[in-house]
Structure 1
Amino acid sequence: MTTLDRTDKKILSILQEDCTLPVAEIGRRVGLSTTPCWRRIQRLEEEGVIMKRVALLDATKVNAKVTAFVSIVTNQHTEDWLDRFASAIKTFPEVVEFYRMAGSVDYLLRVVVADIEAYDVFYKKLIAKIDVADVSTTFAMEQIKSTTELPLGFIPLDKEKGRASA
């Protein structure tokens, strides 16, 4: 289990906002010199708290303007079927998120495509690869909020030492 303190939490918050900031600037903002700040960032990467650093793209400028939420229901609940289904889904670059759900929907996909015609092509390829009982799609009309920043307020801090377990 990774142990985090308030300084780690501040570093994570800064990196979630802009991971291109120089380490010296991050250190300045959290009250550390460059080397100790860099060591903390390296430790957070080694421990898997920071999984990777990425560039966020403007969907419109890369012609990925349509977001579809695809609800999938299956009558097959075996590990073998799930493995085959997950493998099939991983072959679709259009699927940007993939969840196993609780409730009336078994799986939920977030699919990003250029237009409705591109979604139809995706849909036909999907149902050709895997047998499902029901596929239902809803299309987003407008994106009102989108963030990749995880809320860090859930990290429990020890009031005496400012340390946390995550």
Structure 2
Amino acid sequence: MSRPRARERKPAWLRAFIPKTSPLVVTVCEGCGLYVIEDRETVWESWDYGCVAGDDLTVAIILGRPLTRVTWLPSVGYPLLRSVSGSAGIRPDGQYLAGHTCHLARVSVKPFTPPKRDRPPGKPWGGPRLSKQEIAEFKRIWNMPYSRLKYEKAPTVVG
């Protein structure tokens, strides 16, 4: 049994989007030879790799294509797919993948972009409280040439 041959080039961003540790797999469809994303967690499903969002989302709903929501997991570095039923559960600001149907054009070929991480505002770092003597010692060692530094003994600090 031979592997199906791809009719297109694999997008470079797809390797970063789905790493080897992910339960999702990028394969070639046996029927049409296009790259698809297979979800092999529970029921094996095939999805076109283009990110469906904005106007493409409207097109997918009109065409009746099944959709799955892409949820990015920053802790593990790969996406998780969550099914939506019909138009229920679809948010206009979400990113989706359209179900793959052989020999039909993709709804979208846009690459997926992970969401920006919101960081809570924090206090500015004031730095450690060092004495003038400790700062002078640091500057002296920092500006010392390496040939002399390797023979310098480390100061012992007790206290």
Q: TM-score range by the shorter chain?
A: under 0.3
- What TM-score, normalized by structure 2, do the two folds share? 0.21
TM-score scaled to structure 1, two decimals?
0.21
Greater RCO (Cα-Cα under 8 Å, separation 6 or more): 1
Q: Which has the larger radius of gyration?
A: 2
Higher helix fraction (1 or 2): 1
